[in-house]
Structure 1
Amino acid sequence: MKTTESRPDPAGAAATSPDRLGVRGIWLLCVTCGGLSVVAAAITALNLTLPEVGPALGASTTQMTWLVDAYTVTLAALLLPCGAVGDRYGRRGLLVVGLAVFALASLPAVWATDPTVVIASRALSGLGAAMIMPATLSLLTSELPASKRPLAVALWAGVAGAGGIGGFFVSGALLEWFTWRSIFVTFAVVSAVLMIASCTISTSRDSEPRRFDLFGAVLSTAAVFLFVIGLLETPTRGWDDPFVIVALIAGVVLAVAFTVTELRSDSPLLDVRLFTNRAFSAGACTVLVQFFASFGLFFVVLQRMQLDFGMSPLMAATAMLPLIVVIMVLSPIGSWLAVRYSLRTILFLGVALTGVALILMGTLDYTTYLGLLPWLILASVGQGFATAPPTTAIMANTPAANQGVGSAVNDTFREVGAAIGIALAGSIVASGYTHNIGPVADQVRSATGSAELGDRISRSLAEALHTIGALGDRYPQQAGALSEIVTQAKHAFIEPLNASCVTMGAIMLVGAVGLWFLSPHALTPKSDAPTGDQAE
């Protein structure tokens, strides 16, 4: 039976006694959550900067998309192989190398004048993030006392859930006083500091590492890469685009091939039999639907705040801060309730509350942030309850020697869920707006004789508002007519935005029912043997 070999740092062990967290344990928690926060913030930080980055670099529409997606795709595709590397060769070493790669990868964007350089920088940052993310969680679950792991996982999951919102806030704050390049400077400096700090924490690895499953690593990377690419291209290309269809089908086929290969392998990258454990499967499915809702929610709410409510990027990011507070407070509470009472009930409650909030967000009428806030709070309550328990369920039912792989499974389902949420919400909003704005754009074309003007209005609400604002400055006498076009454009946008909320909410409610039947009552099997030993 394989075990995990721990290597304490020279100053001492992570905990001063088997049941106490200790100074070293607290330090380990701070360093790992710090590394995680950088990875999570980098996923969303660039979204607010695109209106400034695009013109500054002369980026095309496709290049602007890849400025965001290059990081996400690389991160999602490489999580599983990187988690396995950490299990075999040392989790602290993987974290240190990942932070070094992340810091160095952020530097080219500071001086770049070519969008291709920034895209490559983001892709390399994704590689660093794929090393950091599984290492942070596996270090906590392998190094901290067993009695403290649920709390540590709850805090880790809270940071993972709230980190995306933090990324919006940090980038919005930096843009108020500096240029968009300051975001990359911040990432480089923070990552370098955390890299140095990571050298002081304890480490662990599989004491009897088996042969690395290179073929499985290639299959899993290709499967996730193609599937996520297909999802992220959906909002701009549409679900019926040949590229999207081929990418999604190829991703699924490779995932099936990966499963078959792993079942036959003597040294699998991922023991897919772990999914026969109901708590493990329920945890993975909950992470998937939770981040499906989170990133779908971010997509629609931030646009609503900026394009409809007229908030600046910083104001919109600040308006999301209450969600961070609620998620961070409820994350450990949800974990405690799942461990103490019922995993099934907590997972159902968290997912169902999020679904109800999304449906109310899409059906009720509100025209200000205060009208939206109660439903944001309700969604964050659901997210808070559903944040820590699924991660705890995954890690508690993963063998001790494979904590890095278990963490990578958690993170991969997280990234895939986020991609699905963005793809679904983005495609509903894009197609709905294009359909609704068509008659208005036609009227503008006929009234002005400018086909280009009509095309700009029909591309997106953001471009429509920018174009109409420029016309208003040039032709103030047409203010009334232009104001009516703005009203029609916003209506054309809000209708599909609400439809996307209702659709996502309905999916979450269906997911909640499915989780009720899939999830076991207890977090771990009743024999209560150590999880790693039990699963082997």
Structure 2
Amino acid sequence: MTVTATRPAQPAPKRASRPLAAVLAAVGIPTFMVTLDNLVVSTALPVIRNDLHASITDLQWFVNAYTLPFAAFLLTAAALGDRIGRRRMFLFGITVFTLASAAAGLASESWQLTAARAIQGLGGAATAPLALTLLAQAVPDRLRTAAVGIWGGIAGLGVAVGPVVGGAVVEGLDWHWIFWLNVPVGVVAVILAATVLGESRGGARKLDPLGLVLSASGMLLLIWGVVDGPDHGWSSPRVLTMLISGAVLIAAFLAWQARNKSPMLPLSLFRSRGFSFVNIVTLTFSAGTFGAVFLLAQFFQVVQGLSPLESGLRTLPWTMAPMVVAPLAGLFGDRIGQRNLILAGQILLSGAILWMGLAVTATVNYSDLVLAFVMAGVGMGLTFAPISTMALASVTEQQRGVASGANNTIRELGVAVGVAALASIFSSFGSYATHDSFVDGLRPAVLVGSAIVAAGAVVAFWLPRRSQ
């Protein structure tokens, strides 16, 4: 009783003693670094392939080696942060990410880069979910939605400049600098986080070793199976074994959480209608949007013959909009209603992706797509901050770490599922052989992406008007 009464009171002085700008820098810089790095690497793959004489399989692993541990260990990292200290885990994640970036910058062979990317993924998993939790704890309640909105804008900046920076690297800069730039940024991020952020922990004080193993291994196998599905075939023994094994382990994890007195993921979280529904929208939003983006991002290069930098510049109306809209959504979210913003964002996104799917041809003019890009960017900006705000507001302060980890895990699972599913649809109807065949596969895949987001819009309609 005494512990419960004193623990929530401890963060209050720290909130008042630190300027909002310093707190945002402490959590925003690592978020920006993690977001930017993933997108830059994806765009710079052609240069890396030539320099390292990498195979197509190697290229896939340069991306997947980061994605798999990142998605698989988000929930684990959040749970560990609740037990050993969120700031301590956050600092550990930034440090690991920075050191792995230096190792990637030194890589001279494909396996070295793949190993460094995997360690980067682990560091990113410890950074991403705890950034939002530490931000929510460090600012007063009256500033939380605005702060989350600004944080979403910082993440949006990473999305916005990633393709452009990657394009510049592909066209002449040494690709190693993609990773070396993280080193001084990471050092600054560690210093800021250590001096600005206060320590906090979650509710349960006991570790859940079995839960950690079941959740991490289950998510790893499940996402690995989804990633390998398009290449190896969804009915192949390899993919089926991973998918079934992953599903069994996740089911065992949930059963164990229901019985465990100190669970790493309290299933009571999902009794909240707001938390349950907002995570469904997170899944559909991520799957439909990023699955479509994965294919549309290649359109300008593969079909219209533009350089990577030119392609990146053409995506700016889409990628820059969240940087502007997300902070506004945070500032006015309480007044307008988080549910209303999420619903509007999903409707705009679904309509914009539908527009792209119907309008795209091998010879389509950029002017015919630019308004759809802006719509999609506004829709994403209206979604980022309110989803995070509602996920946190739907649970108690002690549960915010694990709630953020769960929401981030579902988002990354959605990205992996969306990319794999839409890539499979693309392969069924088209190919990279000719410009027309690429469009033949692109169009149905993008239309399915629009339908997935539209399904999320229907769910968003049933979100509670208040985040409870």
Contact 1:350 1:385 in 2 (8 A): yes
1:207 shift after superposition: 7.3
Q: Partners of 1:335 and 1:33 in 2: how far apart? A: 15
Alpha-carbon distance in structure 2 between the residues aligned to 1:276 and 1:338: 24
1:296 aligned partner: 291
**Kindly tell me: are residues 307 and 227 of structure 1, through their superposed partners in 2, closer, same or farther at Cα, counting changes over 3 Å?**
same
Please report how far the alpha carbon of residue 220 of structure 1 lies from its aligned counterpart in structure 2 after TM superposition. 0.9
Q: 2:387 aligned to 390, 394, 401, which one?
A: 390
Q: Which amino acid aligns with 1:258?
A: F
- Shift in Å at residue 125 of structure 1? 0.5
Cα distance in 1, alignment partners of residues 197 and 294 from structure 2: 38
Q: Using a 3 Å threshold, how does the CA distance of structure 1 residues 6 and 407 change in structure 2: closer, same or farther?
A: farther
- Equivalent AA in structure 2 for residue 503 of structure 1: V
Amino acid at match of 1:13: K
1:237-261 Cα offsets, whole Å, 9 max, x none, are 2323322222222222222211111
The AA in structure 2 aligned to 1:26 is A
Find the counterpart in structure 1 of residue 452 from structure 2. 507
The answer to whether the 8 Å contact 1:67/1:122 transfers is yes
Determine if the alignment matches structure 1 residue 176 to structure 2 residue 171: yes
Percent pairwise identity: 32
Q: Distance in 1 between matches of 2:226 and 2:209?
A: 26
2:235 aligned to which of 240, 243, 259: 240
Amino acid at match of 1:398: V
Alignment partner of 1:164 out of 156, 159, 173: 159
1:521 to 456, 465, 468: 465
- In the alignment, residue 366 of structure 2 is paired with which amino acid? Y
The alignment's TM-score, normalised by the length of structure 1, stands at 0.81
Change (3 A) 1:232 1:164: farther
Alpha-carbon contact 2:138-2:198 (below 8 Å) kept: yes
CA drift of 1:5 comes to: 6.8
Equivalence map 1:271-282=2 (5 Å) = 271-282=266-277
1:331 alignment counterpart: 326
| Structure 2 counterpart of 1:370 | 367
Which string of whole-angstrom CA distances, capped at 9 and with x for unpartnered residues, describes residues 50-96 of structure 1? 21212322322222211111111111111111112222222222222
- The answer for the alignment partner of 1:498 in structure 2 is 443
Partner of 1:403: 400
Against the structure 1 CA distance between its residues 197 and 206, is the aligned structure 2 distance closer, same or farther, given a 3 Å change threshold? closer
Q: Any conservation in 2 of the 1:339–1:523 contact (CA below 8 Å)?
A: no
- Give the equivalent residue in structure 1 for 2:378: 381
User: Match for residue 26 of structure 2?
Assistant: 31
- 1:15 maps to 16
Give the deviation of 1:338 after TM superposition: 4.5
Shift of the alpha carbon at 1:187?
A: 1.9
Say if 2:343 is the partner of 1:348: yes
Tell me the residue number matched to 1:444: none
The SS at the match of 1:268 is coil
Show the counterpart of 1:65: 60
Deviation at 1:112, TM superposition (A): 2.0
Alignment CA distance shift 1:190-1:174 (3 Å): farther
Which residue of 2 is the match for residue 95 of structure 1? Answer: 90
Distance 1:207 1:99 in 2: 20
Q: Deviations over 1:246-291 (max 9, x none)?
A: 2222222222211111111100001122112111112212222222
Q: How many angstroms apart in 2 are the aligned matches of 1:365 and 1:37?
A: 31
Tell me, in whole angstroms, the C-alpha distance in 1 between the residues paired with 2:223 and 2:71. 8
1:6·1:204 contact (CA, 8 Å) conserved in 2?
Answer: no
Q: Does 2:220 match 1:225?
A: yes
Q: In 1, Cα distance between the equivalents of 2:372 and 2:399?
A: 39
TM-score by length of 2: 0.93
Distance 1:289 1:490 in 2: 29
Which 5+ residue runs of structure 2 have no aligned equivalent?
none
Code of the aligned partner of 2:464: P
Among 144, 152, 158, the alignment partner of 1:149 is: 144
Residues 95-144 of structure 1 show CA distances to partners (whole Å, capped at 9, x for unaligned) of 22211111111122223222111111000011111111122111111111
| 2:108 aligned residue | 113
Q: Which runs of 5+ in 1 are unaligned?
A: 17-22, 435-459, 462-488, 525-536
Determine the structure 1 residue equivalent to 2:252: 257
Does residue 357 of the first structure (1) align with residue 352 of the second (2)?
yes
Aligned to 1:415: 412
Equivalent residues of 1:6, 1:203 under 8 A apart: no
Q: Tell me the distance in 2 between the aligned counterparts of 1:180 and 1:273.
A: 46
Larger Rg: 1
- Residue identity opposite 1:174 in structure 2: V
CA distance in 2, matches of 1:208, 1:375: 45
Deviation at 1:158, TM superposition (A): 3.3
Q: Quick one: distance in 2 between partners of 1:235 and 1:334?
A: 37
For 1:12-67, what per-residue CA distance to the aligned partner results, in whole angstroms no more than 9, with x for missing partners?
Answer: 83434xxxxxx622101112111111111222221122212123223222222111
Shift of the 180–60 alpha-carbon distance from structure 1 to 2, 3 Å rule, reads: same
Amino acid at match of 1:523: S
Distance 1:493 1:162 in 2: 30
The residue matched to 1:240 in structure 2 has which SS?
coil
In structure 2, distance between residues paired with 1:219 and 1:25: 38
Give, in whole Å, the separation in 1 of the partners of 2:447 and 2:203. Answer: 50
Aligned residue for 1:270, secondary structure, equals: coil
Q: CA deviation digits over 1:419-467, x for unaligned, max 9?
A: 1121122222233224xxxxxxxxxxxxxxxxxxxxxxxxx34xxxxxx
Whether the aligned pair in 1 keeps the contact of 2:46 and 2:170 (CA below 8 Å) is no
Q: In the alignment, which residue of structure 2 is the partner of 1:425?
A: 422
Q: Which of 154, 169, 182 is the equivalent residue of 1:187?
A: 182
1 CA distance for matches of 2:248 and 2:207?
Answer: 23
Q: Which moved more, 1:266-275 or 1:350-359?
A: 350-359
Taking the aligned partners of 2:54 and 2:248, their CA distance within structure 1 comes to 34
1:283 aligns with 2:278: yes
Q: Deviations over 1:441-496 (max 9, x none)?
A: xxxxxxxxxxxxxxxxxxx34xxxxxxxxxxxxxxxxxxxxxxxxxxx11011011
Counterpart-to-counterpart distance in 2, 1:214 and 1:410: 21
What are the equivalent positions in structure 2 for 1:432-447 lying under 5 Å apart? Answer: 432-434=429-431
TM superposition shift of 1:147: 0.4
1:341 positional shift: 4.1
2:313 is matched with which residue: 315, 318, 340? Answer: 318
How far residue 209 of structure 1 moved from its aligned partner, in angstroms, is 4.6
Q: Is 2:215 the counterpart of 1:214?
A: no
- CA distance in 1 between partners of 2:159 and 2:338 (Å): 25
Q: Which amino acid aligns with 1:206?
A: R
